Each structure stands twice: as C-alpha cells, then as structure tokens.
Homo-oligomer: A and B are copies of this chain.
Amino acid sequence: MALRHAVLAALLHEELSGYQLAKAFDTGVANFWHALPQQLYAELTRLEADGLVTGREVVQDSRPNKRLFTVTDAGHAELERFAAATAKPSFIRDDLLVKVQAVDHVSADAVIAQLRERLAFAEAKIELFGSLLRTLRGDRDEEEFLRHGDRIGPYLTCLRGLAFEEGNRDWCLRGVAVLEERRAARARG
C-alpha cells in the first residue's frame, strides 16, 4: 500500500486539494506514481481518518469550495517508517511488452503500430519531463542544483521518469526498425 505514501510524499511541500492532487497524479507529470482521482479522494479520506493528514475547508466564491490537505506529524512519522522499510522490487508490467513477446506469432503490423504509438507518447513525456526539470532547477545547472538546492527529491524522481521514457523511446525505435527490416526482407524473398 504505497499509494498512501505517495500521497503523503506529494503533500509534503504544499497543501493540495484532492482535485489538484488528482491532476498531478493523473496527467503525465506523475513522475513517481500514478493514480486516478477516485483513488486519491478515497485515500485522502482514509488518511484523514487515520490522522496522517488534516484537511481544512477553503471557501471560494468564484469556484466551488475545496479542502486543502496537510501532512500531520503522525503522517511524517509514517513516511519515515515507510522510507526505512525494505521496498519491494519494481517489476515491469506493460501491455506493450506482452505484445512484443508474442510478435513471432501475431501480426507484426499490429505490433509495429503499437510501438509507433508508444514512441509518440514517450517523446511527449520526454518533452514534459525536460521542461519540468528546467522549472525545478530554475537558472542553476543540474550539478549545482543537486549539490545545493532544496527539494531535490522531486528532481531525482523526475530524472528517473525521463530516463525511463528515453528507454521506451529507444526501444520502440529499435523494435520498429527490426520488425520493418524483417518485413521488407520477407517481401523481397
């Protein structure tokens, strides 16, 4: 149950509403976890019931009211406990890999199309992570920022996200190249 810790981590440096949290976790900028709005609202409710966050109502007149959540001391303690516990290894779990695994037995065209789609997606995320990183480090260069900046956590996770998507991009390119070359070879002979 790391979703709860992901939520705590996200709330560490600023008060957020469920809605804001949902946007951060849903749109591509979810550099360290991914979840849908419904899960987040539910998790916030549980976290509040367990005393790990507190919500305060903010009355707005130009918008619907909202509740902003902050991590309590108990919440910080829980995160500390979580950080010290051994993390389970992260396994890849990806539809696209399943398709590629089966590529020798199913239509290669279908798989090529999927790889192209993923490629485009990866490139978009690379862009996104790139500009997010620039925002996070401001006018400093990376080396300097990582040495002396505060809030390097989000920067590091964003770096991982970037490398992951670059890995996706390169692999998709390779896969498309290989499969098309084989298709061409089959067509020739």
Which residues of B lie under 8 Å from residue A127 when comparing CB positions? none
Contact between A171 and B159 (Cβ–Cβ < 8 Å)? yes
Is the CB of A103 closer than 8 A to any CB of chain B? yes
Interface string of A128-169 (1 = CB under 8 A from B): 000000000000000000111011111011011101100100
User: Smallest Cβ distance from A67 to chain B, in angstroms?
Assistant: 22
Number of interface residues of A (CB under 8 A): 72
Known: A76-B105, A87-B95, A99-B87. A178 touches B163 (CB 8 A): no
Between A and B, 30 residue pairs with Cβ closer than 8 Å are A2-B98, A5-B99, A6-B101, A9-B102, A30-B92, A31-B97, A32-B94, A32-B98, A32-B101, A33-B94, A33-B97, A34-B92, A79-B105, A83-B111, A84-B113, A86-B114, A87-B114, A90-B92, A97-B157, A100-B156, A101-B154, A103-B156, A105-B153, A146-B178, A147-B181, A147-B185, A156-B174, A159-B174, A160-B171, A163-B167
